[in-house]
């Protein structure tokens, strides 16, 4: 992964039906684990009880997919900028 970290991640409103089934304590542990995953790639799923672990795995799958798409888009934009700069230099 590039050295510059992605500054955000997405959560989906549809997951609220799952989070609503958790106790406040489990929801807090879930979100701390989700932030650890999104920020450091740290997997804390084993620290969670079964239901919050299921929600965690769903959320982190989306986060991983969206992060990959973000970096792919960044790379595509970088490549287009390099090609544009190359064409500009060639036209001088």
Question: What confidence tens digit (pLDDT) does each residue in 47-87 have?
Answer: 999 999 999 999 999 999 999 999 999 999 999 999 999 99
CA torsion 55-51-32-64 (nearest 10°) is -30
Sign of the four-CA dihedral 30, 31, 37, 38: positive
Report the pLDDT value the prediction gives residue 7, as an integer from 0 to 100.
85
By the 8 A CB rule, do 63 and 5 touch? no
Closest CA to 56 of 70, 40, 35, 71: 35
Express each pLDDT in 24-33 by its tens digit. 999 999 999 9
């Amino acid at each position: 992964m590039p050295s510059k970290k992605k500054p955000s991640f997405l959560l989906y409103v549809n997951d609220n039906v799952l989070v609503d089934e958790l106790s406040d304590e489990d929801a807090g542990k879930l979100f701390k684990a989700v932030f650890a995953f999104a920020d450091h790639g740290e997997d804390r799923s084993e620290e969670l009880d079964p239901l919050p672990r299921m929600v965690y795995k769903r959320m982190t799958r989306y986060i991983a997919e969206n992060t990959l798409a973000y970096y792919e888009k960044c790379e595509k934009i970088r490549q287009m900028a390099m090609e544009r700069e190359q064409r500009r230099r060639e036209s001088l």
